[in-house]
């Protein structure tokens, strides 16, 4: 399944109009200056996403979009246009509509093709979270993940970690990985790895997203959209999603825009644009002298292979059956960076061998359609393991994003 970049832009602008309409009450509920400042933040965020989605479009199209939006926002200089203050939300809404009727008028995407049969099974309406997770793991993604043993990976668990954080394990956790396998040739794995060096590790340091990094994000989202588990997650959330944003999903570009907003769009933990759900969960961060997040095995393996991660032993609940195809570990590790201090993660649960698309799919489904509360807990079984996904929301202007989402052994 593939869409041209201009068709993706069309879908994105349609989605932005819907979002603006939903956010209008919050953008018009205070005094005039406060409303203006909030609108500036909103339009700047739209501009950043527009640049990411349209990174690969022609120079002619970029120029036409810039001219259409100039009255409300200067895309090149990333600052308000002359009419933003006076025109307010109505002027922004008109400018977005003008994009659809002007530069993007010939880019109207065709009716979305029917979902592949495996991505939309006949019984999807009756599938609860457990059945959906089993279907993704055992049917949709089984052939894509990296297996245990020859041609896959092996681990050396060694000893239980010391609660004082001392290193009790002389060897790395990952003892073998076949990097020549098809797993590492997949587009999702390759585009995922390309993202890993794009982030400032320390919370509080704002991310500066370059044009190249925007293209890498767009390539990653495009690769995700072509996987069966993500296509299934889209279909499942249209039926079972509890978050109001799932009720507006009409096409895969709609879903990818939402995935971007939840996972990749930067937000504030300590200062503006210093974090994102993707950075926290899949890359890992440093906060107040400790490592937070980092629940992905590919990132763990890459950093351990570089000699930056030092495995400190296993901790807490562990995989109860190493003979199945679910390989979950809960471990402690130290992670070195450029400063002389070596920060540690006292406990992190990681699903080894899994695909990025499976983790993105199941965590997104749990966040938008799983348990409720704070943290929102969604219990399920993976293979023979009783698991739980815990989700925390990042409160942002508009709808919440993902602060963190991870699996644990229950």
Which residues are catalytic, by number?
A: 280, 295, 345
Which among 155, 163, 132 is positioned nearest to 297, based on CA atoms?
A: 155
Specify the DSSP class assigned to residue 180: T
> Distances in Å between the alpha carbon of 342 and those of 156, 338, 365?
23, 9, 35
- The residues with which 327 forms a beta bridge, in sequence order, are 352
Q: What share of the chain is helix, strand, coil (3-state, %, to 5)?
A: 45, 20, 35
Judge contact between 376 and 370, C-beta under 8 A: yes
Asked if the bond preceding 375 is cis, omega within 30° of 0, the reply is yes
Instruction: Compute φ and ψ for 309, nearest 5 degrees.
Output: -100, 135
Rounded Cα gap, residues 71 and 51, in angstroms: 17
Judge contact between 56 and 3, C-beta under 8 A: no
Residues in the chain: 410
Tokens of 391: 């989700």
Judge contact between 218 and 52, C-beta under 8 A: yes
SS in 3 state form for 106-139?
Answer: HHCCCCCCCCCHHHCCCCHHHCCHHHHHHHHHHH
Which among 243, 242, 224, 220 is positioned nearest to 232, based on CA atoms?
A: 224
Judge contact between 38 and 136, C-beta under 8 A: no
Rounded Cα gap, residues 197 and 269, in angstroms: 20
Specify the DSSP class assigned to residue 245: G
């Amino acid at each position: 399944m593939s869409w041209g970049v201009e068709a993706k832009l069309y879908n994105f602008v349609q989605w932005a109009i819907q979002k603006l309409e939903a956010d209008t009450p919050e953008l018009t509920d205070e005094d005039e200056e406060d409303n203006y400042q909030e609108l500036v933040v909103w339009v700047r965020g739209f501009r950043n996403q527009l640049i990411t989605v349209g990174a690969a479009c022609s120079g002619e199209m970029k120029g036409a979009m810039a001219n259409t939006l100039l009255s409300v926002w200067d895309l090149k200089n990333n600052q308000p246009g002359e009419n933003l203050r006076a025109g307010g939300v109505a002027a922004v809404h008109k400018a977005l509509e003008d994009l659809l009727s002007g530069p993007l008028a010939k880019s109207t995407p065709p009716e979305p093709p029917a979902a592949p049969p495996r991505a939309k099974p006949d019984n999807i309406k009756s599938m609860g979270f457990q059945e959906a997770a089993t279907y993704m793991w055992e049917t949709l993604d089984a052939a894509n993940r990296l297996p245990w043993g020859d041609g896959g990976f092996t681990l050396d668990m060694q000893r239980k970690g010391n609660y004082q954080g001392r290193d009790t394990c002389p060897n790395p956790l990952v003892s073998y990985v076949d990097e020549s396998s098809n797993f590492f040739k997949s587009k999702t794995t390759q585009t995922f790895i390309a993202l890993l060096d794009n982030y400032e590790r320390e919370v509080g340091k704002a991310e500066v997203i370059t044009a190249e990094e925007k293209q890498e994000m767009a390539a990653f989202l495009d690769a995700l959209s072509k996987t069966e588990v993500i296509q299934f997650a889209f279909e499942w959330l249209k039926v079972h999603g509890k978050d109001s944003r799932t009720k507006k999903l009409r096409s895969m570009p709609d879903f990818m825009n939402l995935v971007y907003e939840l996972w990749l769009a930067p937000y504030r933990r300590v200062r503006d644009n210093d974090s994102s759900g993707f950075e926290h969960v899949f890359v890992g961060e440093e906060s107040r002298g400790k490592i937070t997040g980092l629940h992905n095995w590919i990132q763990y393996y890459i950093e351990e292979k570089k000699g930056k991660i030092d495995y400190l032993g296993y901790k807490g609940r562990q995989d109860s059956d190493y003979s199945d195809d679910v390989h979950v570990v809960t471990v402690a590790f130290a992670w070195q960076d450029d400063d002389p201090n070596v920060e540690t993660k006292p406990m992190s649960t990681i699903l080894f061998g899994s695909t990025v698309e499976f983790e993105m799919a199941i965590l997104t489904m749990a966040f938008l359609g799983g348990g409720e509360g704070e943290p929102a807990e969604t219990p399920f079984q993976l293979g023979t393991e009783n698991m739980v996904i815990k989700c925390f929301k990042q409160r942002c202007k508009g709808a919440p994003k993902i602060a963190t989402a991870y699996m644990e052994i229950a």
